[in-house]
C-alpha cells in the first residue's frame, strides 16, 4: 500500500472536522469532482458518500463508504470509481507538538486497477495523495478553531 505523511499546523480534531463534512469531499480528494448526496450518518461506519469522479463532460457517478471510523483519529474508506475499480483508503491523524501528523494509505482492492503492477501503481497513488493531503491541509488549517456543525 502507498503511504504519504504530512505535518499540519492544526489539531487532529480540525482535520476530522473537514473529513466529517462529506460535502467537502471533492475539495480535498483528487479525482472527485462533485457531491450528489451525503448520508446523514456520515462519517460513521457504513455511511456512504455519493460523488462523481472525472471532469466534465466525462463524469462517472459512484460512491464511497466508511469501513472504520475513530472520530478525531482515523477514517477508513472504500473509494469507488468504476470502471477503474475500488481502493481502500486509510487516513490517520495524530496530534504532535506544533500540530498534527496526517497519513493516508491507499491501494486498489477490486477492479482493473489491480492489473496495474504495484511497481507502477504505488508511485501513481503517492503522487495523487501528496496533492490530496495538501488540499486537506489547506482546508483544515483554514477552518482551524472554527465552531463547526461537524460531529466530533
Contact 101, 1 (CB under 8 A): no
Helices (H), the chain: 12-19, 25-28, 118-143
Q: What is the pLDDT of residues 52-90, one digit of tens each?
A: 998 888 899 999 999 999 999 999 999 998 888 999 999
Q: What is the pLDDT of residues 16-41, one digit of tens each?
A: 999 999 999 999 999 999 999 999 79
Where are the chain's structural domains? 2-143
CATH, range 2-143:
3.30.530.20
Average pLDDT over residues 144-151: 55
Residue with the bigger pLDDT between 151 and 48: it is 48
- Determine the 3-state secondary structure of 99 from DSSP: strand
- Cα distance between residue 89 and residue 66, in whole Å: 10
Q: Which residue has the cell 477492479?
A: 111
- Determine the 3-state secondary structure of 75 from DSSP: strand
Amino acid at each position: 500500500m502507498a503511504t504519504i505523511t504530512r505535518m499540519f499546523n492544526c489539531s487532529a480534531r480540525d482535520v476530522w472536522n473537514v473529513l466529517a463534512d462529506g460535502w467537502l469531499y471533492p475539495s480535498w480528494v483528487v479525482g472527485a469532482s462533485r457531491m450528489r448526496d451525503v448520508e446523514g450518518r456520515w462519517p460513521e461506519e457504513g455511511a456512504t458518500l455519493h460523488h462523481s469522479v472525472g471532469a466534465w463532460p466525462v463524469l462517472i457517478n459512484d460512491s464511497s463508504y466508511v469501513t472504520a471510523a475513530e472520530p478525531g483519529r482515523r477514517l477508513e474508506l472504500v473509494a469507488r470509481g468504476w470502471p477503474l475499480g475500488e481502493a481502500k483508503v486509510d487516513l490517520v491523524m495524530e496530534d504532535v507538538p506544533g500540530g498534527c501528523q496526517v497519513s493516508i494509505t491507499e491501494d486498489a482492492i477490486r477492479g482493473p486497477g489491480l492489473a496495474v503492477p504495484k511497481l507502477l501503481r504505488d508511485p501513481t497513488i503517492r503522487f495523487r495523495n501528496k496533492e490530496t493531503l495538501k488540499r486537506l491541509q489547506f482546508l483544515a488549517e483554514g477552518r482551524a478553531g472554527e465552531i463547526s456543525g461537524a460531529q466530533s
